[in-house]
Every structure is written in structure tokens, then in C-alpha cells.
């Protein structure tokens, strides 16, 4: 009946032994560098010397790999003597040396120009890291974890310390390191030389900060352009979101359909689709333009291409997000407070003004900042409908893909954009987060929310109804537009566009997918499906660490994890190109980099779903399991995970759907072989093939709707629906 005696557990022989074995494997057997022909083809076995492990490379032209042997030896000696203390030093040194040699020696010679200057040679070369390096580094990280756990970190729990280090390592490599690459590339000229003076010049360039438009000039700096649109979008979206939230929760309608519809729309709609629909409605040859010019003689103009179009498209796209934030806030205002006010003889209007409004004010600021961030980060709408009006996200793109191909300029623009979004994110978290009066997840008390005062109700309807009508029209255009010749002008139905994109033909070898959209669609679905479980796993693991464990630096860890929400997709895209185009980690042009960008872009959603779910699981359940002799991993597996099914499903769906609709980051990463649906659609729209673009977008929306509804039916309406609203309605970082 006695439990394992503590002496057995002081030295985790099996754990350390297994990781040591893996480290030896990584060093002695597995190919240290990327295998061009692919690891799984096992061609490297036949050419073991040239494509072999670090141990061989060390004696054949890559002597900088030999020092990695020493920590391995030291760790082995420690474990033979049954010590964990010291493993952290050995592992830490190994990882540090890997970072140093990896960054210092690139595939074109010295990784730093000052090294080349110092040495006076081009320097040695090495390709990107391969499986051997990965396995070696991971094993060393876990040996560090064993030591730290032995010193009592995280209550001496190896599993917790190990997962924590693993999550931190991946965040550092895939979130922090790319951002640092942007900085480092901003301080260099295009040939890679260190040029800090150039940074100053680029950073304060009049193209970015110029105020020419105020003085009657044609253009203002792109930073001001972006800021202007973001503020407009923030204001309009918040106002509309509030009106809709008030209608949904505080009038007789209490419309379930409104709530549900609005919570689904922004998820399943690829972001640029709305811009596309607006062009078809209000563009020079658009439906409405046509109507006005035909019947009223109003001349055609290009007014929609620019601020007006971007703002309209983004307000249409982001109002649902503001709405969901405000619904959460409004639900958190206890009706009993409004009732208390009314029993104190306050009129409805006075109650709203003096009780409800002050309580939701922090929520309004939150909604504003979230819409602001989304607008800044939006790439596809400005691309499609922006015309000559430049914003930061599109400028970054054109700096890289355009004729200029100025990576330095792209990096500087990315820094400016990142500065804005991170500032908004910080304000949202640090300032408003602490001012929120609304109790989230507190005990609900009875009472009926006070109905809106008459004037406010009329006002809410007044702004919400036109918006709803426009939304319906936009979606109608998307769904119908691809099935007529030219919507507005020639409304005869046609399957031409649909067949171009999605035809299936019978050829010599049987049926095959001959439509032009199939390759990108199947590729997108494949990559999104692969990324789905990883996003859920790392997001939920992070949520578990944040919610259930106490450790030094927890706040910083949370910040790093949630920060990727505030990093615009274009910045992620450019940073991945800058960071992973060259060794030590070389991934551009592969499907892997797209999957990784999906995982870390969508991770905050999984974290939030996990946190919301964990908040409802009493901590005493974990503790009960621990006191019954189950360690934290067994507790996670047998108690927490079964209770987290709703969060797992939510995280999976969201990561899948968001991966399907993502465009801003992956437009940098997609290639001919790894083409993606959204990138393909943007490409079609860019060359004016609206028919195919619209049909493809409609198919995506319908496909995603089917997936959502299907999973909802499969998992059970109740648990999922409730969880999704909860997860999405939560403001950032709540």
C-alpha cells in the first residue's frame, strides 16, 4: 500500500536516461544538417559521411560542432553518478553554443559582417539545422528541465518544468527571434552591412511620417494614413457593436439569431471578401454605381477605392468582433445593479447614464482598441480596395514583392506597424484590463435587465439596421455574384466561373480535379488540418501552465504568449521570411513554415479557449488527484483533459477555420507548390478576375459553414455554442 519511496524519485533515471540516449542519437547518428532529398527518403544513410551526424561533420570541415560533444559527455558522467544538479549547466552550454555557432556561421560565410571584417575571410559555411540538431537541442532542453525540477522549480515537477521550457523555447524561436530579425534587418543596408544611420533615415522617412496632406499636398505619410483609418474603423465598429449588443441584450428582440449569426460571420469570412463585394457594389462598374448613373445620371467615380472603401470594408468586417466583446461586457453588468438604481427612483435614462454606461466604459475602450488593432493588421482589404491609398501592411508587402525589393524598408515599416499595434495591445491589457468593473464568471444573480430608454433604442436601431442591411447585401453579392455573368450589368446566370475553378473531368486515368482552384484548396485544407492539432496542443498546454502553475516570470510568459495576437500578419510574414530564409533555421518555401505560422498565429485563440474552460474546472480537482498519488502528467491526462473537451473542440475548429481564411502572413510564405486558397483568390481579384474570386470565396464560406455546423451537430450544440461565445467574447488577455 505504500507509495513509491522518495529515494526512488530523487534521481529520475529513466527520464534522464531516455533523453541522454536521444541526445547521443542526435549527435552520433542523425544527420545534423537539412537533408536536401528529405529525411524520410533515408538517402542520407547511403551517403552517411557527407550528410551524416555532427560527430562526422566535426572532423570534416565543421570543427565548430565538436564542442557540442563536451556537454553531452558531462551530462552522461553526471547521470552515471546519479546527479541531476549540473545538467542545467551542461544543457544550457550546449544550447548556447548551438545558438552562437548557428548564427555566426551561415550558408554564405560569417553570419555577422563584423566577424568577416575581423577574420578577413568569407568564412566557413553551413546549411540549416536538420533532425540531428533538433533532437540534440530538445534532449538538452529536457535535461535542463530535469535539473531545474530537481532544484524544486514548479514544485519539483519535471513534466511541468519540461513543458514550460518547451513552450518558451518555441515562443522564442517562432515569435521572438523573427521579430529580432526584423530589427536586425532594419539596421542594415540591402547588401547586409551594418548601417545604423540608414535606420534613422528610413525610420523618419517622409513617406512614413510626412504631413503633406494637411498642407494641401497629395499624400500624407503611410503611418498617418494607417492611423487615420484605424481610428475611424475603431470608432465606427465600437458604436455599431454597442448598438447591436444593446439590441441583442436589452430589447424585446433579444435575438438569438443575431447573436449567433454575428458570432459566426467574422470567423468564416476570408477577410478580403467584403472589400471584393464592395467593389462589385460601388466600384466604377459596380451594381449600385450602375443603377445611380443609369437612373439618376450620377457620374461614375472611383470614390470607393481609398479611405472610404477601406473604412467601409473594415467596419463591416470588424463590427462583429466589437459586438462580441461588448456582449460579454454587457452580460457582465449585473441586472441587480440596474434594478437597484431603479428602486432608488432613477429613470431608465438616468440608470443607463449613471450606472450602465460607466460600467461598460472600459469594455468600450477594449472594443475600440481591438477593432483598431484589427484594422491596422488588416492586409487584404486595403490590397483589394485601397487604390492609391497606402497603408502600412500593404506597403510592407510591396516593399518585399515589388520591383524595389527593399527588405530594409519592409523591416522599418514593420517596426512602425508593430509599434502601433503593440502600444494598443499594452494599453488594452495594462490600463483598461485593470479598470474593468465587470465581474467575469462571477455568480450570476437574478433580475431582469432594464429595457433601454426610448431615445437610445431608436438611436441603436437607427445605426444598426442600415449596417445589417448592408451586411446582408454584401453576403448576397458574394454568394450570388459568382454565378452570374457580371453582377449588376449582365445578370444572366452562368456556371462558367464555378466550372473554371471547380470542374472535375474524366481523363485517361479516371476522374481528376481539373478546376484551377483545386490545388490551392486541397493544399490549404491539408496544411490547416495538420496545423490544427498542434495549435490546440500548444495553446491548451500554455493555458494549463498559465492557469494552474505558479512560477517566476509567469507574467512575462503570458505576455509573450498573448502578444502574437497583436503582431499583424504582414509583420509575421516578413519576419518569417527574414528569419527563416537562411540557416540556422531554414524553412522558407516549405509547407512547414506555413504550418508553423498557422500554429503561432492561432495559438492565442486556443489559449483563450483553454483559459475560459480551465476557469470553470475547480482547482481542487487537480489537487484531489495529486493527493491520490497521480503526478501532474497523469492528472492532466486523466482529470483535466477529459474535462477540457469543449476547449479542445473550440481550439481545433478555430485554428482550422482561421488557418483556412488567413491571408496576411501566408501571402509571404505561399509558393507555387504550396499555394493557398486565400492567396489564390487575392491573386485573381488583383488581376480583375472577380468572377472566379467571388465564386471561390463563396465556396469557402459555404464549406466553413458546413464544417462548423457539422462539428456542432457532432459534438452537441449546447457545450460548443456556449463555449464559443464565451471564448470569443472575452477581451484580450482576460
Partner 1 sequence: MSDGIAGTTGNAAPQPAVRFDAVVKRYGTVTAVDSVSFDIAQGTLVTLLGPSGCGKTTTLRLIAGLEQATEGRILIGGKDVTQLSAAERDVSMVFQSYALFPHMNVMENVSYGLKAMGLKKAEVESRAAAKLALVGLSGYEKRQPSELSGGQQQRVAVARAIVLEPQVLLFDEPLSNLDAKLRRRVRDEIRGLQQELALTVVYVTHDQEEALAVSDRIVVMNAARVAQDGTPRELYSAPNSRFVADFMGDANLIDVAVRRHNGPVAEVEAGSLRLSLPHRDIPVGAAAIAVRPHAIMLSTEAGASGGIKGVVVKSAYLGDHVEYTVKTSNPQAELFATDAGVDTILSAGTKVFVSFDLDKLVLVS
Q: CB of residue 3 vs partner 1: minimum separation in angstroms?
A: 6
Question: Which residue, among 125, 136, 134, has the nearest Cα to 94 in the 3D structure?
Answer: 136
Select from 465-473, 634-642, 683-691, 718-726 the region that touches partner 1 (CB under 8 A): 634-642
Task: Report the alpha-carbon distance of residue 649 to residue 539 in Å, rounded.
Answer: 12
Would you count residue 722 as binding partner 1 (CB under 8 A)? Answer: no
Q: Given the complex with partner 1, which of 153 and 282 has the nearer CB atom?
A: 153
Would you count residue 628 as binding partner 1 (CB under 8 A)? Answer: yes
Q: Given the complex with partner 1, which of 15 and 371 has the nearer CB atom?
A: 15
Alpha helices in 11-130, H assignment, sequence order: 13-28, 43-46, 54-59, 69-80, 87-104, 113-119
E strand or H helix at 583: none
244: number of CA atoms within 13 Å, CB side? 33
Q: Given the complex with partner 1, which of 1 and 714 has the nearer CB atom?
A: 1
Q: CB of residue 645 vs partner 1: minimum separation in angstroms?
A: 9
Would you count residue 625 as binding partner 1 (CB under 8 A)? Answer: yes
Q: Given the complex with partner 1, which of 435 and 619 has the nearer CB atom?
A: 619
Binding mask 574-613 for partner 1 (x = CB under 8 A): ----------------------------------------
Would you count residue 9 as binding partner 1 (CB under 8 A)? Answer: yes
Would you count residue 443 as binding partner 1 (CB under 8 A)? Answer: no
Residues 157-196 that bind partner 1 (CB under 8 A): 157
The distance of Cα 630 from the centroid of its chain, to the nearest Å, equals 35
Task: Please tell me whether the peptide bond between 253 and the residue prior to it is cis, using omega within 30 degrees of 0.
Answer: no
Would you count residue 492 as binding partner 1 (CB under 8 A)? Answer: no
Would you count residue 441 as binding partner 1 (CB under 8 A)? Answer: no
Would you count residue 552 as binding partner 1 (CB under 8 A)? Answer: no
Question: Which residue, among 564, 683, 571, has the nearest Cα to 186 in the 3D structure?
Answer: 571
Q: CA torsion sign, 184 to 190 to 193 to 194?
A: negative
Crossing angle of helices 273-282/287-296, nearest 10°? 10
Question: Which residue, among 221, 554, 556, has the nearest Cα to 390 in the 3D structure?
Answer: 221
Would you count residue 14 as binding partner 1 (CB under 8 A)? Answer: no
Q: Given the complex with partner 1, which of 60 and 628 has the nearer CB atom?
A: 628
Residues 261-320 that bind partner 1 (CB under 8 A): none
Q: CB of residue 155 vs partner 1: minimum separation in angstroms?
A: 5
Would you count residue 2 as binding partner 1 (CB under 8 A)? Answer: yes
Select from 317-325, 422-430, 597-605, 638-646 the region that touches partner 1 (CB under 8 A): 638-646
Task: Report the alpha-carbon distance of residue 727 to residue 605 in Å, rounded.
Answer: 8
Residues 144-163 that bind partner 1 (CB under 8 A): 152, 155-157
Task: Report the alpha-carbon distance of residue 270 to residue 664 in Å, rounded.
Answer: 11
Q: Given the complex with partner 1, which of 339 and 622 has the nearer CB atom?
A: 622
Select from 1-9, 454-462, 510-518, 527-535 the region that touches partner 1 (CB under 8 A): 1-9
Residue of 630, 703, 705, 711 that binds partner 1 (CB under 8 A): 630
Question: Which residue, among 524, 340, 360, has the nearest Cα to 432 in the 3D structure?
Answer: 360
Would you count residue 639 as binding partner 1 (CB under 8 A)? Answer: yes
Would you count residue 631 as binding partner 1 (CB under 8 A)? Answer: yes
Residue of 29, 74, 166, 626 that binds partner 1 (CB under 8 A): 626
Q: Given the complex with partner 1, which of 154 and 417 has the nearer CB atom?
A: 154
Q: Given the complex with partner 1, which of 81 and 550 has the nearer CB atom?
A: 550
Give the C-alpha distances (Å, rounded to integers) separating 496 from 503, 513, 695: 10, 16, 10
**3-state SS string for 449-497:** CCCCCHHHHHHHHHHHHHHHHHHHHHHHHHHHHCCEEECCCEEEECCHH
Other Cβ atoms less than 10 A from the Cβ of 270: the count is 23
Q: Given the complex with partner 1, which of 492 and 555 has the nearer CB atom?
A: 555
Pairing of strands 490-493, 484-486: antiparallel
Task: Report the alpha-carbon distance of residue 563 to residue 601 in Å, rounded.
Answer: 10
Give 130's contacts (C-beta < 8 A, 6+ positions apart): 30, 31, 32, 33, 34, 35, 39
Would you count residue 615 as binding partner 1 (CB under 8 A)? Answer: no
Would you count residue 548 as binding partner 1 (CB under 8 A)? Answer: no
Q: CB of residue 5 vs partner 1: minimum separation in angstroms?
A: 9
Q: CB of residue 629 vs partner 1: minimum separation in angstroms?
A: 5
Alpha helices in 482-630, H assignment, sequence order: 496-502, 518-548, 554-563, 569-580, 591-614, 619-627
Select from 385-393, 418-426, 624-632, 664-672 the region that touches partner 1 (CB under 8 A): 624-632
Would you count residue 634 as binding partner 1 (CB under 8 A)? Answer: yes
Question: Which residue, among 31, 68, 67, 72, has the nearest Cα to 49 in the 3D structure?
Answer: 31
Q: Given the complex with partner 1, which of 155 and 200 has the nearer CB atom?
A: 155
Q: Given the complex with partner 1, which of 505 and 618 has the nearer CB atom?
A: 618
Would you count residue 83 as binding partner 1 (CB under 8 A)? Answer: no
Residues 641-670 that bind partner 1 (CB under 8 A): 642-643
Select from 37-45, 68-76, 602-610, 636-644 the region that touches partner 1 (CB under 8 A): 636-644
Residue of 191, 343, 388, 627 that binds partner 1 (CB under 8 A): 627
Residues 94-123 that bind partner 1 (CB under 8 A): none
**3-state SS string for 168-228:** HHHHHHHHHHHHHHHHHHHCECCCCCECHHHHHHHHCCHHHHCCCCCCCCCCCCHHHHHHH
Q: Given the complex with partner 1, which of 390 and 635 has the nearer CB atom?
A: 635
Select from 83-91, 351-359, 429-437, 614-622 the region that touches partner 1 (CB under 8 A): 614-622
Select from 68-76, 82-90, 262-270, 628-636 the region that touches partner 1 (CB under 8 A): 628-636
Task: Report the alpha-carbon distance of residue 559 to residue 557 in Å, rounded.
Answer: 5
Question: Which residue, among 400, 405, 406, has the nearest Cα to 189 in the 3D structure?
Answer: 406
Q: What is the DSSP secondary-structure string of 287-344?
A: HHHHHHHHHH-PPP--TTTTHHHHHHHHHHHHHHHHHHHHHHHHHHS-HHHHHHHHHT
DSSP 106: E
Residue of 36, 618, 686, 717 that binds partner 1 (CB under 8 A): 618
Would you count residue 624 as binding partner 1 (CB under 8 A)? Answer: yes
Residue of 507, 510, 629, 672 that binds partner 1 (CB under 8 A): 629
Would you count residue 36 as binding partner 1 (CB under 8 A)? Answer: no
Would you count residue 473 as binding partner 1 (CB under 8 A)? Answer: no
Other Cβ atoms less than 10 A from the Cβ of 17: the count is 12
Binding-site size, partner 1 (CB under 8 A): 28
Would you count residue 6 as binding partner 1 (CB under 8 A)? Answer: yes
Start-to-end C-alpha separation, the chain: 44
The distance of Cα 86 from the centroid of its chain, to the nearest Å, equals 38
Would you count residue 3 as binding partner 1 (CB under 8 A)? Answer: yes
Question: Under a CB-based contact definition with an 8 Å cutoff, are residues 394 and 383 in contact?
Answer: yes
Q: CB of residue 544 vs partner 1: minimum separation in angstroms?
A: 17
Give 457's contacts (C-beta < 8 A, 6+ positions apart): 246, 251, 451
Other Cβ atoms less than 10 A from the Cβ of 327: the count is 25
Using CB under 8 A, list all residues that contact partner 1: 1-4, 6, 9, 152, 155-157, 618, 620-621, 623-632, 634, 638-639, 642-643
Amino acid at each position: 500500500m505504500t507509495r513509491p519511496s522518495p529515494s526512488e524519485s530523487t534521481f529520475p533515471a529513466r527520464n534522464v536516461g531516455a533523453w541522454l540516449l536521444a541526445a547521443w542519437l542526435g549527435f552520433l547518428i542523425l544527420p545534423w544538417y537539412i537533408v536536401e532529398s528529405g529525411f524520410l527518403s533515408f538517402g542520407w544513410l547511403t551517403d552517411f559521411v557527407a550528410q551524416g551526424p555532427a560527430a562526422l561533420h566535426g572532423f570534416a570541415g565543421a570543427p565548430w560542432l565538436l564542442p557540442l560533444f563536451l556537454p553531452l559527455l558531462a551530462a552522461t558522467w553526471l547521470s552515471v553518478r546519479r546527479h541531476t544538479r549540473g545538467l542545467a549547466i551542461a544543457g544550457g552550454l550546449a544550447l548556447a553554443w548551438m545558438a552562437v555557432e548557428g548564427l555566426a556561421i551561415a550558408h554564405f560565410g560569417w553570419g555577422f559582417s563584423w566577424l568577416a571584417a575581423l577574420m578577413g575571410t568569407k568564412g566557413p559555411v553551413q546549411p540549416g539545422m536538420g533532425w540531428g540538431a533538433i533532437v540534440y537541442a530538445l534532449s538538452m532542453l529536457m535535461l535542463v528541465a530535469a535539473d531545474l525540477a530537481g532544484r524544486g522549480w514548479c514544485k519539483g515537477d519535471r513534466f511541468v518544468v519540461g513543458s514550460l521550457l518547451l513552450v518558451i523555447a518555441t515562443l522564442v524561436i517562432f515569435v521572438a527571434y523573427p521579430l529580432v530579425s526584423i530589427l536586425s534587418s532594419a539596421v542594415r543596408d540591402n547588401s547586409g552591412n551594418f548601417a545604423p544611420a540608414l535606420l534613422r533615415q528610413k525610420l523618419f522617412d517622409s513617406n512614413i511620417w510626412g504631413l503633406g496632406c494637411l498642407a494641401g499636398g497629395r499624400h500624407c505619410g503611410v503611418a498617418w494614413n494607417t492611423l487615420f483609418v484605424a481610428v475611424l474603423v475603431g470608432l465606427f465598429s465600437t458604436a455599431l457593436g454597442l448598438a447591436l449588443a444593446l439590441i441583442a441584450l436589452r430589447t424585446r428582440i433579444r435575438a438569438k439569431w443575431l447573436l449567433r449569426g454575428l458570432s459566426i460571420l467574422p470567423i468564416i469570412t476570408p477577410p478580403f471578401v467584403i472589400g471584393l463585394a464592395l467593389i462589385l457594389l460601388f466600384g466604377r462598374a459596380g451594381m449600385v454605381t450602375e443603377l445611380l448613373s443609369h437612373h439618376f445620371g450620377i457620374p461614375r467615380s472611383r470614390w470607393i477605392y481609398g479611405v472610404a472603401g477601406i473604412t467601409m470594408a473594415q467596419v463591416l468586417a470588424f463590427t462583429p468582433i466589437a459586438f462580441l466583446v461588448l456582449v460579454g461586457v454587457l452580460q457582465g453588468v449585473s441586472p441587480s445593479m440596474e434594478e437597484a438604481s431603479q428602486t432608488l427612483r432613477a429613470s431608465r435614462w438616468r440608470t443607463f447614464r449613471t450606472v450602465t454606461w460607466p460600467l461598460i466604459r472600459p469594455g468600450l475602450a477594449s472594443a475600440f482598441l481591438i477593432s483598431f488593432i484589427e484594422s491596422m493588421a488588416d492586409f487584404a482589404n486595403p490590397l483589394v480596395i485601397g487604390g492609391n491609398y497606402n497603408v502600412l501592411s500593404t506597403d510592407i508587402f510591396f516593399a518585399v514583392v515589388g520591383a524595389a525589393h527593399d527588405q530594409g524598408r519592409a523591416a522599418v515599416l514593420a517596426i512602425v506597424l508593430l509599434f502601433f499595434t503593440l502600444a494598443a495591445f499594452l494599453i488594452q491589457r495594462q490600463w483598461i484590463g485593470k479598470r474593468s468593473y465587470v465581474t467575469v464568471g462571477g455568480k450570476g444573480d437574478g433580475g431582469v435587465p432594464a429595457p433601454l430608454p426610448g431615445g437610445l433604442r431608436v438611436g441603436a436601431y437607427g445605426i444598426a439596421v442600415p449596417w445589417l442591411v448592408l451586411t446582408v447585401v454584401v453576403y448576397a453579392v458574394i454568394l450570388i455574384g459568382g454565378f452570374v455573368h457580371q453582377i449588376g450589368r449582365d445578370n444572366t446566370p452562368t456556371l462558367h466561373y464555378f466550372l473554371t475553378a471547380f470542374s472535375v473531368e474524366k481523363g485517361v486515368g479516371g476522374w481528376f480535379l481539373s478546376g484551377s482552384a483545386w490545388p490551392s484548396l486541397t493544399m490549404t485544407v491539408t496544411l490547416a488540418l495538420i496545423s490544427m492539432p498542434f495549435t490546440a496542443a500548444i495553446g491548451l498546454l500554455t493555458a494549463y501552465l498559465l492557469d494552474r502553475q505558479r512560477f517566476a516570470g509567469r507574467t512575462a510568459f503570458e505576455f509573450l504568449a498573448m502578444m502574437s495576437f497583436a503582431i499583424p500578419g504582414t509583420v509575421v510574414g516578413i519576419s518569417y521570411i527574414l528569419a527563416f530564409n537562411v540557416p540556422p533555421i531554414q524553412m522558407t518555401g516549405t509547407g512547414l513554415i506555413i504550418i508553423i505560422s498557422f500554429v503561432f498565429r492561432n495559438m492565442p485563440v486556443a489559449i483563450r479557449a483553454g483559459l475560459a474552460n480551465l476557469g470553470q474546472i475547480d482547482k481542487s480537482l487537480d489537487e484531489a488527484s495529486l493527493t491520490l498519488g497521480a503526478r501532474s502528467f497523469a492528472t492532466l491526462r486523466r482529470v483535466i483533459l477529459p474535462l477540457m473537451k469543449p476547449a479542445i473542440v473550440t481550439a481545433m475548429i478555430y485554428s482550422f477555420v482561421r488557418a483556412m481564411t488567413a491571408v496576411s502572413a501566408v501571402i509571404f510564405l505561399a509558393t507555387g507548390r504550396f499555394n493557398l486558397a486565400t492567396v489564390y483568390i487575392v491573386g485573381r481579384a488583383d488581376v480583375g478576375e472577380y468572377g472566379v474570386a467571388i465564386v471561390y470565396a463563396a465556396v469557402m464560406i459555404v464549406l466553413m459553414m458546413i464544417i462548423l455546423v457539422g462539428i456542432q451537430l457532432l459534438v452537441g450544440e449546447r457545450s460548443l455554442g456556449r463555449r464559443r461565445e464565451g471564448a470569443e467574447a472575452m477581451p484580450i488577455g482576460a
